[in-house]
Amino acid sequence: MHYLREAACKNNLIFVRYRILFVEKDAKIFIAGHRGMVGSAILRKLSALGFYNVLLQTSDELDLRNQQAVADFFSAQKPDYVFLAAAKVGGILANNRFRADFLYENLAIQNNVIHQSYTHRVKKLLFLGSSCIYPKLAPQPLKEEYLLTGLLEPTNEPYAIAKIAGIKLCEAYHDQYGCNFISVMPTNLYGYNDNYHPEHSHVLPALIRRFHEAKTADEPEVTVWGSGAPKREFLFADDLADACVFLMESYNDSQLINIGTGEDLSIRELAHLIKDVVGYKGELAFDASKPDGTPRKLMDVSKLHALGWHHATALKSGIRLAYGDFLARLETELH
């Protein structure tokens, strides 16, 4: 990497900013969590751009919760850049059921990777947070400055607290030591290599599985958890990967930045959209006894748009791609 100096005139004042450019194709890039949906998307993006010296460790090879193991890895490999996409993740049921696990394990993972990135002078680190960091009843759309202005959604509070700690840790190393550590907040994600567990997955992949199984079994009705009223925004994971690489190149501020589409829809509308893509012909029922979670989560992406990045994948097109991936994985499991 080298730094391109750019000068511009604004309000008759000259200001200078530095844009980091990926030019070292042999740079050591560590993707923490490369087998997950986000990490694998980042790996695909980097590979497509010609980066070949990517450090990949499975959880069996490197337990990121283990402080000494992470220290030994950084000492031996000395990565130049880090994408911190590793996390313990799950849907609303898993977040609420495994509260201690979600808090402890995510704190351990990010503390170890961020601190060792500082210790071993990583040139730049990108930390991936989550839109659940924002207060449950924050004004919509969610602006970056709304962080820590109200109470969190109780069902995923432990996960959110861990992610907030990661954001603040990156800020602290940025401010105290001058580390180029940035934090990005993606909206709800879906795509290739998603988690389709019947209980522990997020809403979009869970509905893909539920509708497919109902279609296969010729069931007359599918029950969707909650009232269907909450509104959510969804971003295809490969679009997120593109945004992450874009921000690794062009963003150096300690303040977090949102990544999303700036568009949302109700869970009811989402269910009908997935039903159509899957080709399920039965009826829908909504179980209002199940928790809805936050009423609305729409990201304000004006900051990202001002930098010049916009998403490329329309929701229905992305769902078609995700469903195709689900079917391919299902076929592999059967054989």
Residue 225 labelled as part of a binding site: yes
Residue 37 labelled as part of a binding site: yes
Residue 289 labelled as part of a binding site: no
Let me know if 178 is exposed, middle or buried by CB neighbors in 10 A (0-12, 13-18, 19+). exposed
CA distance 326 to 195: 9
Residue 152 labelled as part of a binding site: no
Residue 163 labelled as part of a binding site: yes
Residue 232 labelled as part of a binding site: yes
CA distance 251 to 231: 29
Task: Name the maximum alpha-carbon separation found in the chain.
Answer: 68
Residue 250 labelled as part of a binding site: no
CA angle 226, 155, 266 (to 5 degrees): 35
CA distance 106 to 85: 11
Residue 324 labelled as part of a binding site: no
Residue 128 labelled as part of a binding site: yes
Residue 1 labelled as part of a binding site: no
Residue 186 labelled as part of a binding site: yes
Residue 201 labelled as part of a binding site: no
Both tokens of residue 205? Answer: 């992949």
Catalytically annotated residue among 81, 118, 134, 159: 159
CA distance 196 to 219: 19
Residue 311 labelled as part of a binding site: no
159 is catalytic: yes
Residue 300 labelled as part of a binding site: no
Residue 188 labelled as part of a binding site: yes
Both tokens of residue 143? Answer: 């602006």
Residue 90 labelled as part of a binding site: no
Both tokens of residue 263? Answer: 């568009």
Residue positions forming the annotated binding site for substrate: 210, 225, 232, 292
Residue positions forming the annotated binding site: 33-39, 128-131, 163, 186-189, 202, 210, 225, 232, 292
Residue positions forming the annotated binding site for NADP(+): 33-39, 128-131, 163, 186-189, 202
Active site members = 159
